[in-house]
Structure 1
Amino acid sequence: MTVAAAIIAGNEARCIARCLESLAGAVDEIVLIDSSSDGTTAIAQQFPLVRIVRADWPGRFRPAAQSCPGAR
């Protein structure tokens, strides 16, 4: 069984590394749905478990969550 975490981020460069580090060892994959322009993507790319999906922020959580691969 594979355990994955999905994170929706927008300009979270200040804290994304801490967030991703907290998931290390707890999940097999991290999917980052990202609409950032502040370096969040570059930081997340340093983590081997992270798969980045670029998405424009629709202004509401539900559409962003539905953009996650495998979302129902």
Structure 2
Amino acid sequence: GKQLDQAGVARWGASEWWWPAEDAAGWADHFEKTLRFRDCRFICAYNWNQGGVESIPSALEGIELLCRRWKE
């Protein structure tokens, strides 16, 4: 937050994001905490298709869970 304050901006994006979890609920929680910090507008998961999120079923389930939560 300090760097955002110093730059005088609120909106930001999480590039090369990688905050793994043990299960889908944990992944959803980590994505949500990132999106809710300040005014995060974008998350780019690190190495999505190179052994990262794409190959972790609980990560994909977590993204689906997050989307369902945010639709409510």
Give the TM-score category using the shorter length: 0.3 to 0.5
Which structure carries more strand by proportion? 1
- TM-score of the two chains, using structure 2 as the length reference: 0.41
Highest CA radius of gyration, 1 or 2? Answer: 2
* Between structures 1 and 2, the one with greater helix share: 2
